[in-house]
Amino acid sequence: MKPARRKTLLVVVSLVLMSWLVSPNTAIAADQTSKQQLQQLIEGARKEGQLNVSLVSSLTEAGARELNDDFNRRFNLNVKFNTTLGETTRQFPRVMEELNMGLPPSFDSMYMSETYIVHLIKAGGVEKIANWRPLLKEISPEAYQVANQVSPLDLDGYAFLWGTRAKVINYNTDLISEKELPPTHVELGDPKYAGAYFMPPFITEAEYGILLYPKARWLEIVRSWSQSKPPILNYEAGLQRMFLGEFKFAQSNDYYMFKHKGRDPKTPIGLAFFKDFTPLTYAWHVTRTRAKNPNAAKLFTLWSTSPEANRVFEKLEYSATGNLLLNTGPMSRQIKEALDKRNIKLISWWDSQKNADVLEWYASEEGRTYKKELSAAQTGRRR
């Protein structure tokens, strides 16, 4: 062997040996650092003693108390949750007003829907949690396994997934079979389904259509849904009327079947999916900038991603949501099995940067104009 090659080989071998020696020590040091950081958050939360938190309204007061108890039990704390139950649509104007006026936030940690999450981050209303990955590994190893989805893309370190909602078709099993349902969103507008369904007042599901269809074509498809002038109802009210036989099926959220079957197993409600696309919406928790209780807020925001917290959110009567990414609860597992059985592929804004850019486009002037057109098309109303 030539001297030069021998020297190169020795250098390579030395580097490999050094990596073997250093890597375990480095890993141990990193683990110790993350444990220390977690302990600092815990001790900080202990001193704060409370958390001003906004939670999804469907969790209910009972669910909020259970969540508070489980949080304290997990970290050996006695933190009091000052809970506000609500929806982002109603709370967001207040949040932005506080930001614009330079006022401290009402909430330390809060629930955010996908529609508003990017807006709040760009407005400076969310604190990025430093070193969140090693902290998440300590708090929820299960969530850490899907860390890139728990806090994805531009939301990295700002927003943390605590639940998902798949958009589904619920149907009255006494009135129609699954094979008789419209197979895609295109067929939903077929005149043969006139009078068989209601329309929700919001366009959460419709917004996803432009990920698969050209914008102009998608408006035509959505407009076809309202040709028969279906009633405009929220999911819960519409489903109640579906049970009474007024409607045969409805666009809905995945958890409603479990909620109503949990109350009465004889409820005539089935679960199906459109074959062209099935949106998976994400529900987030964030730590607010200038939070009064920042340690408790960060600790809760990270812990809420865990299967332990999700078991509370997934209680049937709370009807909040499951988490198909963790797939740990009974509701999530059954939904996943139903999706797999039908070979349904989920889509979300967080599958790719391209999809996330479309969500952000909806916040532009052009995007807002299109959303108004979409809403008018779905409801049959003039803009």
Domain ranges of the chain: 27-164+282-323, 166-280+333-379
Q: How confident is the model at residue 12 (pLDDT cuts 50, 70, 90)?
A: very low
First to last CA, the chain: 81
- Which of the listed CATH numbers 3.30.870.10, 3.40.190.10, 3.40.225.10, 3.20.20.80 matches domain 27-164+282-323? 3.40.190.10
Would the pLDDT of 3 be above 60?
A: no
Strand partners of residue 171 = 249, 270
Residue 10, pLDDT score: 47
Tell whether the model's pLDDT for residue 26 goes beyond 70: no
Record the pTM: 0.85
Task: Flag the least confident range among 42-51, 107-116, 320-329, 359-368.
Answer: 320-329
Quick check: helix, strand or coil at residue 291?
coil
- What is the reported pLDDT for 44? 97
- Tens-place pLDDT, residues 191-229: 999 999 999 999 999 999 999 999 999 999 999 999 999
What's the CATH class of domain 166-280+333-379?
Answer: alpha beta
Instruction: Inform me whether the pLDDT recorded for 249 exceeds 60.
Output: yes
| Rounded Cα gap, residues 353 and 351, in angstroms | 7
- The bridge status of strand 278-287 relative to strand 346-347 is parallel
User: Could you tell me the pLDDT band of residue 317, with boundaries at 50, 70 and 90?
Assistant: low
